[in-house]
Amino acid sequence: MGDDTGDPSGGNDANAAARPGAFERAERALRESEALKTAMLEASPDAVISIDHRGHVLEWNPAAALTFGFPREAAMGTELAELIVPLRLRADHRAGLTRYLATGEGPVLGKRIELPALRADGSEFPAELTITRIALDGPPTFTAFVRDITQRQQIAEEMMDIADELQRKNREKQEFFAILAHDLKHPVISIQGLLSLLKTDVYEKLDDESKDHLRLSLSECERMRDMLGRINELGKIDFMTPRHEAVQFDAFVKSCADRFRPRAETLNLTIQVEAPATAVRISRWHLEQALSNLIENALNYGCPPGTCRIEVTAEVEGLRGRITVRDFGPGIDPRHHQRIFEPFRRLSPTAGPAGSGIGLTAVRQLMTKIEGNVSLESTLGEGARFTLTFPA
């Protein structure tokens, strides 16, 4: 019988022979991993800095040397606070590291934060910082990724300056419109008054062509007065601060609609109102102007012969209110749903009476001012539904 134990070395010859190859592969993989890590550190556009539990630098890539002005040889082993943390912030930095070592709590770990950083020449710059803990045995070590965001902040500041300048120019434009509307209003009223006198005193003595000219002139004066009034209202929007007040919702909506009932009766139309009898807090002036513009638009453009009504419905859901004005007219092509809110835009010069083209622009600005919005649902031949949504 053979020895059950066999040759002590014979059974392991294959493993022994294979072992050097496995070690070589592992060493090669380790070298490749280190080379890859080094290449990533050197190629990174962000500063990559590692520190030990005392806050001393363990790693300092080329981007860190370029960003902060300290060469790698000078940075390695130096306390990070002495290198890149402004003097006024060093106590907080050190206290945070001490607190983490004692409690394991690091409120900034894994978060992207912005703070001032220090260059070798003593200048400060805004930096974006992310700190992570390296998962190794023993005392904790940390890696920070730091990015100079000076250019980004400059761009943000420039954008804010541009926005401020646009707002200033917009206010100047609105003031100009308001002054223009005010200054032109009185001459137009005077001309209209004179033409009214002529119509009263000499109308019957005029020939048919002169009568037509007189009627047209009076009509154009009325249109001009309406346009100046609308421009004046548009100019007020930026200067009227939203002021929420309590109103009875149904009474508010009905009072807006009642202003247009005499005009509706001349067109053989009815205005139907449906609103809940509940108290709400709304910015009354802004909402009243917006709703009035929508009802007037429905009368002017949404009620061709043969239609019989305009529907105004209101509701409150949660902390939002909605008012919808629906007409049963020709409708609006979906391609024009956004264009129709642009200033001085009319879809067709023959669609309804000549208007200023700023009514719906005013509606959109009014609703934006009170953190609301206006939307449109319409298809050709099926009328239009304009809906105001607003805080209530």
What confidence score (pLDDT) does residue 54 get? 93
Closest CA to 322 of 378, 253, 234, 241: 253
For residues 112 and 144, the answer to whether their CB atoms sit within 8 Å is no
SS3 track for 247-278: EEHHHHHHHHHHCCHHHHHHCCCEEEEECCCC
Domains within the chain, CATH numbers bracketed: 20-148 (3.30.450.20), 150-239 (1.10.287), 240-392 (3.30.565.10)
User: pLDDT at position 138, please?
Assistant: 84
Residue 214: per-residue pLDDT: 84
User: Nearest 5°: phi and psi at 4?
Assistant: -65, -30
The kind and range of the H/E element at 374 are strand 373-378
Q: Which two tokens stand for residue 276?
A: 């809940």
CA 119 to chain centre: 36
Q: Are strands 141-148 and 124-134 parallel, antiparallel or unpaired?
A: antiparallel
**Cβ–Cβ < 8 Å for 68, 83:** yes
Q: Which two tokens stand for residue 154?
A: 């400059």
Tell me the CA distances in angstroms from 284 to 91, 240, 343, one per residue in order: 54, 11, 24
Nearest to 196 by CA among 178, 176, 217: 217
pLDDT tens, residue order, the chain (392 aa)? 444 444 444 545 555 445 557 777 777 777 777 777 767 777 688 999 999 999 999 999 999 999 999 999 999 999 999 999 999 999 999 999 999 988 888 888 888 999 999 999 999 999 999 999 987 788 899 999 999 999 999 998 999 999 888 888 877 777 777 777 767 777 877 887 888 877 888 878 888 888 888 888 887 787 777 777 767 766 667 667 788 899 999 999 999 999 888 888 888 888 999 999 999 999 998 999 899 989 988 888 766 655 678 999 999 998 999 999 999 888 888 877 777 777 655 554 434 444 455 778 888 988 998 999 999 998 888 889 999 999 98
What pLDDT sits at residue 84? Answer: 94
